[in-house]
Structure 1
Amino acid sequence: MLQFLRLGLILLLTGCSFLESKPLSRDLHSPGGSLAAAISSDGSVSVVSGASQDVSVWDLSTGKKRFHWRHQGGATNLVVSLDISYDNSYVVTSDREAFGLWNLQTGEPEGLWRIDESSIRDIAVADNGRGILVGRGNGKVMFFEPQTGRRLEFLGHSEKINSVALSPNGHYALTGSNDYVAYLWDTRTGQVIYSFTHPSRVTKVALDPEGRYAFTADSQKLARIWDIKTGKEISNLHYFERQKIFSSARFSKDGRYLLTGSPARRIDLWQVSSGKNLQEWRVAPKEGPAPQSAVVYAVGFLADNNVISESSSGLAEVWPLENHLNE
């Protein structure tokens, strides 16, 4: 028995030191913390909603701020959802009642639209800003085309939307709800392609921009990766926690890995084919009174074989990947 206790203590100590690994770099993007963040698919740009009443755009290669925005033009910033298009052309920002479209090349706003019916829960934008997906608290999802004014209401969900994702071409949406279901559906027709059921409310969804995979996770212990050509489950993520919530997710460009962030400072790297956990990191906590924690709002893969995170601490942190790329 003593031998087992010693072994458990060694594993516990090893795990703690592993989780507390130091970042390669750490840059302050939002003094006082942030409310939301997004990282571009190529890891070159991040957009951060600051608690200090602004939205800032950062060039991650130079560390310099490119733009400074005010959502709705007011003094109060309550932007709680952000997304960057796959081609880095547009950004969408939203508070609970309105969403705005911004040109990422010029930094200029291109429209602001108000939602009168129910609150905005999550948002996504397609390449060239051709489509915006808006998930709402009443269970409805709107697909909106700014250039044509076309709107499509998806009514498949029966309870509030928690997470949405959109394919780069804007043709396919993945939406997760409190009704225990995630739907993959066609934004041109509103037709459901696949339904992915869970035993509890679906809290996070993500799409592989190359059109291979979907990720859906619930509020308890089930997180799955699906083949979106067949609708079949590829793997489920292996973890020991009784409850694990995901606040961000990103597939690698080659489709072999999934990177996730959590509301409890955690970043995890997973093998898509098996669901195996390959590596973990823990971001810096937000400064202030206890409890010392941070929500990982966005994660991304960098070209130099590292990963990057943006969290509610207001920090962008770069982390080293171990030799998992050949696994």
Structure 2
Amino acid sequence: MTEFPYNRFILFALFFLLIGCQDPTAKPESSYEHAVEGSYAATISDDGKYSLVSSIHHGVSLWDLEKNALKYQWSHQGAEHNITFLTAIAPDNSYAMTADKEKFGIWNIETGQSEGFIKIRESTIRDIAISNQGRYLLIGKTNGKVVHVDRDTGRRIEFVGHQEKINSVALSPNGFYALSGSNDYVAFLWDTRSGQVVYRFNHPSRVSKVAFDPKGRFAFTADSQKQARVWDLKTGESVSRLIYTSRQQIYSAIRFNKDATLLATGSPSRKLAIWDIQTGKQIKKWFVTPRKDSRPKSAVVYSIAFSQNDTKLITESSSGLVETWQIKAK
């Protein structure tokens, strides 16, 4: 037996012990305002470099988080009162995607230019995702259909495996695989080239959130009651189930770290948490900052990202604030 697995175990044990004993009500390390009266939606890029924020006064703003500087300010075409309620950033930071209930738009992050708006043919939009190079788009709809679009060829495929409205979708970086979760208590992993189901993940209540590990090793699915699981995408088997004691837990934001050892979750009740993927145990938690004038004091965690070395988390919430949270002690 080599020494590597044992040494690795010791390092993880010390890491979890160190961060697990810290104050769960700790304040953010930094906090900056991105929307003066709160935001409708926000997405942080996989690498934590950019944040895309939708708000009533600023339209859609792309922020450079490394400089805390506004990079672009966009107007989602025809959106009433700038109500853009869905945002997405490609894993390679090449393109961004915005949507209201009836149409979606594509933005080139290098040039800052719009590359068009498309109105869906039927139903309304529930969730969106975009692949590397902005080539493939995924749109989940109220009528239970999920549409995959190839922007280069114009090819569209509709996945019709769900029986009720879609709540959450995710797209692999190369655009070849999709995750979709629905009110029909099911999450599907499916091949976007053929529309064929790869795995079916059953839940005891409506599936409210799905997410991919960036390297395609794992998937996360959660329902509206008490089941949130990490799945091994090689076998389709459950790796772990998140362990919590509350009556129910709803997630509004999910992010795997690069090594797929940690999972960060955000909720509509301000809660931010980190979990051990292999055991499902919560390691640490915080609560994002509500707006000073909000009654009751509440905020929805829209998006989370790990810093490059996993020492910090970055969050965007409905309070209009981007905040950083220290994971490891300095």
Same fold, judged at TM 0.5 (above): yes
Counterpart in 1 of 2:321? 315
2:182 paired residue number: 177
Instruction: State which of 54, 57, 72 in structure 2 corresponds to 1:67.
Output: 72
1:294 aligns to 2:276 (yes or no): no
Contact 1:53 1:78 survives alignment (8 Å) = no
The yes-or-no answer on 1:196 pairing with 2:201 is yes
Q: Give distance in 2, aligned partners of 1:226 and 1:74.
A: 37
1:265-287 deviation digits (Å, cap 9, x = unpaired)? 01110111111101101100134
1:259 matches 2:264: yes
* TM-score with structure 1 setting the length: 0.92
SS at match of 1:76: helix
Q: Does 1:113 align with 2:118?
A: yes
Deviation of 1:18 (Å): 3.2
Q: Distance in 2 between matches of 1:262 and 1:173?
A: 23
Which residue number corresponds to residue 100 of structure 1?
105
Greater displacement, 18-27 / 196-205: 18-27
- Distance of 1:40 and 1:289 partners within structure 2: 27
Letter in 1 for 2:88: D
* Code of the aligned partner of 2:326: P
Asked whether 1:91 is paired with 2:96, we answer yes
Letter in 2 for 1:224: R
> 2:12: which partner in 1?
none
Identity of aligned residues (%): 53
Indicate whether 1:237 and 2:266 are aligned.
no
Q: CA deviation at 1:136?
A: 0.4
- How well do the aligned residues superpose, as a CA RMSD in angstroms? 1.4
Q: CA deviation at 1:74?
A: 5.4
Residues 47-97 of structure 1: CA deviation (Å, up to 9, x unaligned): 001132500000111000000000015562111111111101011110110
Per the alignment, in what secondary structure is the counterpart of residue 54 of structure 2? Answer: strand
The 1-side partners of 2:52 and 2:191 are apart by 28
Q: Tell me, what secondary structure is at the counterpart of 1:41? A: coil
Displacement after TM superposition at 1:291 (Å) = 1.1
Name the counterpart of 1:128: 133
Kept after mapping to 2: 8 A contact 1:224/1:235: yes
Find the counterpart in structure 2 of residue 215 from structure 1: 220
Q: Which residue of 2 aligns with 1:9?
A: none
User: Given that residues 253 and 266 in structure 2 are in contact (C-alpha distance below 8 angstroms), is that contact kept between their aligned partners in structure 1?
Assistant: yes
Residue equivalent to 1:12: none
Shift, 1:145, TM fit: 1.3
What is the TM-score when the length of structure 2 is the normalising length?
0.91
**AA aligned opposite 1:211:** G
Q: Check if 1:42 corresponds to 2:47.
A: yes
1:186 alignment partner AA: D
Structure 2 distance, partners of 1:154, 1:74, is 27
Q: Paired residues, what number?
A: 308
1:233 is displaced (CA, Å) by 0.2
CA contact (8 A) 1:37 1:298 kept: yes
Answer yes or no: is 1:33 the counterpart of 2:38.
Answer: yes
Amino acid at match of 2:67: T
Instruction: Summarize deviations over 1:162-201 as a string: whole Å, max 9, x none.
Output: 0000000000000000000000000000000000000000
Preserved CA contact (<8 Å) 2:166 2:182: yes
Q: Can you give the 5+ residue segments of structure 2 that lack an aligned partner in the other structure? A: 1-19
Mean Cα deviation higher: 123-132 or 287-296: 287-296
Aligned-partner Cα distance in 1 for 2:247–2:23: 21
